[in-house]
Amino acid sequence: MLLPLANFYKIVFGQWLHNFYQLLNFNWLKLLFRPLVHYQFTIKKIDRKLENRSKEGCKRNLVVDRIRWMLFLSFLKQMEMPFRFINGPSSLPCVFLSEPGGSSAQVLLSGGQVVSWKNEQGEELLFKSSKATGKSPRTSFKGGISVCFPQFGNSGSLGHQGSSSSKLWSLNNCPLHLVPTGSPSSVELILKPTENDIRIWPRSFELRIHVSLGSGKLTIVPQVKNTDSKSLSFTIAVHNYLSVSDISEVRVEGLETHDYLDNLLHRERFTEQADALTFDGEVDRIYLETQTNIAIIDHEKKRTFVLRKDGLPDAVVWNPWTKRLSDFGDNDYTQMVCVNSAASWILKCFFNGFSLLHRLSDYQSNLSRFVQKCKTAYCIHDVHCYDLVATGLPLITSASHPHSCPKLKEFFEDKMENDEESRGVSKKVENPYPYPLSVSVTSPTGSSGGLTRQGSITKNNNSACLCSPTTHAGSFRCRLHRIPSLQRTKSMDQDAHQQHHHSKPDPASTTQGSATISH
Ligand SMILES: O=P(O)(O)OC[C@H]1O[C@@H](O)[C@H](O)[C@@H](O)[C@@H]1O
């Protein structure tokens, strides 16, 4: 009841009155959330029963999951939320977000995965494998966006991509309000380790993911809270499977001159020489400390995704090409590219509780600046507020408030300066990408920056050339005119880096190294 009314006020009286209205209703909202607390009690009882069952050797089955789901729905009926529930893939409980512009997103409670993000025209922007096996929640859906925690990739002892995407997340009834909630449609999920998980990885934490949908923009904020008195070490990534028309016509910009670790060559370190990354074979790379914005340009669809990642320094680019994968259809690789934001350093939370890497005010002003700049682009917006500190950075043991610690302050200031630079604030370039950031996917006549583009081609018209008309080094060349990949240059400071942060697990994680989460 509240949300339609709030929207009505918003339309009729404008944003300020809408905010006022929401403020007035704050206490009512709290009351409405109460049934959820009761729900959680009931869920805990079920969880205990499940624990007992698993001790007896029984596995959690779909019927139990469905009972939980129905119970959950009945509680939800008692309250209004800024989203609604639908049946997701394999009938799993799924949060449905929509916004007045007509775009929508779906978030699965199982795995905390964003399984769909559709634009105003109803076109799917996220990739979904055609060959999901459906045998478990983990395999019922391959693609979308998920959080890899407490480890991404195979970089540690905790199993491929950590375990967070195979767990059942709960709705968080006490969102942290760390993120600006301009979007009327958002949800926050929370994952806490069960007793079973703790047996495998003896760490206590809370992993939250805040997903909000705006016009042409999906914002994902993962947050990690150390609820232990011991330090918590982890790596993390937001794994984005983007849907593209044809991988051969895609290029990724924003990675030039950055060093990367090549997962296909035992993480050997190279420097990116090309102006843009194009694909003509398998790619699996971790680009280190990249700039904040990365553009994924789909020439055939004339569509640009902008991945903006704050707080997560690295970017992973992956396409398996023709490699056989059990959960990928034969030609699925042509329609996807993963560009993930990640922290490949081992991050360490030293103290119990939350602290922010970015001061909230900085974050908010950066956000609005960015939103203004890319009004209608599809921006995936990952902001990672973690409970610090990365190995290799000054160790901060008592910074419960970022402003109170001079070292942390210094770090913020440096970071803000770099961010300013990387966002090109001083350079007055409005739209550096060849296709307009307003993504008119249906229009074949996109142009920008004075470049004239050729018309869109269809799949049947394979002989059409999509090369950029420019001729400088790095100008886009379509698959018909692409020259073999550039000779890669080994990074100058490879040895230094290897000694520095990637090869050395920190002592805390070594002590937990005997534990393995299998997947
Ligand atoms: O199987 P997932 O979790 O979807 O991950 C797929 C790939 O994701 C990429 O990000 C990794 O770099 C690859 O090594 C990995 O194989």
Q: What is the pLDDT of residues 285-317, one digit of tens each?
A: 999 988 888 889 998 888 888 888 877 788 999
Closest C-alpha among 5, 252, 216, 11 to residue 119 = 216
Give the model's pLDDT for residue 35.
52
Q: Is 338 in the pocket of ligand 1 (CB under 6 A)?
A: yes
Q: In 3D, which of 108, 113, 79, 111 has the Cα closest to residue 96?
A: 108
Sequence-ordered strand ranges (E) for 227-313: 232-243, 250-253, 259-262, 268-271, 276-278, 283-287, 293-298, 303-310
Residue 432 reports pLDDT greater than 80? no
Q: Please tell me the least confidently modeled range out of 184-198, 257-271, 365-379, 438-452.
A: 438-452
Q: 153: CA distance to ligand 1 center in Å?
A: 6
How many angstroms separate the alpha carbon of residue 155 from the centre of ligand 1?
A: 12
Looking at residue 519, its pLDDT comes to: 28
**For ligand 1, atom 14: residue with the closest CA:** 153
**Average pLDDT of 87-103?**
84
Instruction: Work out the widest C-alpha separation in the chain, in whole angstroms.
Output: 68
Asked if 110 contacts 93 with a C-beta cutoff of 8 angstroms, the reply is yes
Give residue 468's pLDDT band: very low, low, confident or very high (50, 70, 90).
low
Element at 187 (helix H, strand E): strand 185-191
Please check the confidence at residue 450 and state whether its pLDDT lies above 70: no
Instruction: Output the residue whose Cα is nearest ligand 1's atom 3.
Output: 161
Q: Which of 131, 161, 164 to mutate to test the pocket of ligand 1 (most atoms within 8 A of CB)?
A: 161
CB-ligand 1 contact for 220 (6 Å cutoff): no
Atom of ligand 1 at shortest distance to CA of 142?
4
Structure confidence at residue 376 as a pLDDT band (50, 70, 90) = very low
- Residue pair 158/517 in contact (Cβ under 8 Å)? The answer is yes
Q: HSE on the CB side for 265, CA within 13 Å?
A: 11
C-alpha angle with apex 216: 73 to 387, nearest 5 degrees?
Answer: 70
pTM: 0.62
Which residue lies with its CA nearest to atom 8 of ligand 1?
Answer: 318
Q: Is the pLDDT of residue 256 over 90?
A: yes
**Of 47-51, 103-107, 129-133, 183-187, minimum mean pLDDT range:** 47-51
Q: Which of 150, 148, 212, 149 is nearest to 178 (CA)?
A: 212
User: What does the pLDDT read at residue 319?
Assistant: 97
* ipTM for the predicted complex: 0.97
What's the chain's average pLDDT? Answer: 64
Q: If you take atom 7 of ligand 1, which residue's CA is the nearest one?
A: 318
- Atom of ligand 1 at shortest range from CA of 165: 3
Band the pLDDT of 279: cuts 50, 70, 90: very high
Helix (H, G, I), strand (E, B) or coil at 258: coil
Q: What's the CA gap between 173 and 196, in Å, rounded? A: 24
Is the pLDDT at 225 greater than 90? The verdict is no
Pocket lining: 153 vs ligand 1, CB cutoff 6 Å? yes
How close are the terminal C-alpha atoms of the chain, in Å? 42
The confidence band for 469, taking pLDDT boundaries of 50, 70 and 90, is: low
Q: Which atom of ligand 1 is nearest to the CA of 340?
A: 10
Question: Out of 173-182, 383-392, 457-466, which region has the weakest mean confidence (pLDDT)?
Answer: 383-392
pLDDT reading at 236 higher than 60: yes
Q: How confident is the model at residue 169 (pLDDT cuts 50, 70, 90)?
A: confident
Min mean pLDDT across 149-163, 243-257, 476-490, 499-513 is at: 499-513
Ligand 1, atom 16, lies closest to the CA of 153
